[in-house]
Amino acid sequence: MDQKIALVTGASRGLGFSVALGLAPEYHVIALARTSGALEALDDRIREKGGSATLAPIDLTKKDAVAGICRAIHDRWGRIDLLVHAAIHAAPLSPVAHSADKELARSLEHNVMATQTVITMVAPLLGEAGTAVFFDDPRAGKPFFGHYGATKAAQVALARSWQAESARLGPRVLVHTPAEMPTATRARFYPGQDAAKLASPADEAAKVLALLSA
């Protein structure tokens, strides 16, 4: 296949959805998320643009599932050209002293361990010529953002270490801080916030696409 291949996690909604849609039809999009219905909606939109997608409704915390997807990609295409890691778990806001251990465990599993799994298994598919994109969030250390902020910061730390390690030989690793958007994740943090005052995921996706061509 001459068409470029992009693997997008968290592709069922928000920024992941918009980036996946924006990549078509230049890229064949391999879309990963836990909800198959939302992925099917993405597939419909991509097809309307004349693009194509492969849908993979999996849980990134399941190493065997991630390994299976990566093996299938290798067997079919032998590579990917782009990874966009938009998947995130948003723990409920809570004072650190009163936060539930199970929520911290879930946050670590989804935001840190799953990111390590994705990097480890996708790096060989990217090779030296590919590009990986991660998203930063400045709310680490803010009141009530303990579990989310700590694990999101750890996720970004993994990405930045990989970025430094790959600077000379590749792959290219980008870390982007998007503007505040009316996503489902943000709605959990700020219910009732006026969405009109926030950036649209489509506009923020356009910024990501511009980064790729820079």
pLDDT tens profile 24-70: 999 999 999 998 889 999 999 999 999 999 999 999 999 999 999 99
Q: Look at residue 1 and tell me whether its pLDDT is greater than 70.
A: no
> Which residues touch 205 (CB under 8 Å, ≥6 apart)?
15, 18, 19, 21, 22
**Domain range enclosing 134:** 4-213
User: Is the alpha carbon torsion for 30, 31, 33, 37 positive or negative?
Assistant: negative
The pLDDT > 70 percentage for the chain reads 99
φ/ψ (deg, to 5) at 203: -65, -40
Residue 184 has pLDDT above 90, yes or no: no
Is 27 noted as a catalytic residue in this protein? no
CATH number at residue 89: 3.40.50.720
In the block, residue with structure tokens 């920024």? 15
Instruction: Please say if the pLDDT value at position 186 is more than 80.
Output: no
The residue from 27, 135, 145, 148 that is catalytic is: 148
How many domains, the chain?
A: 1
CA gap 25, 183 in Å, rounded: 24
Place of tokens 């996503």: 183
Q: How far is Cα 5 from Cα 145, in angstroms, rounded to an integer?
A: 35
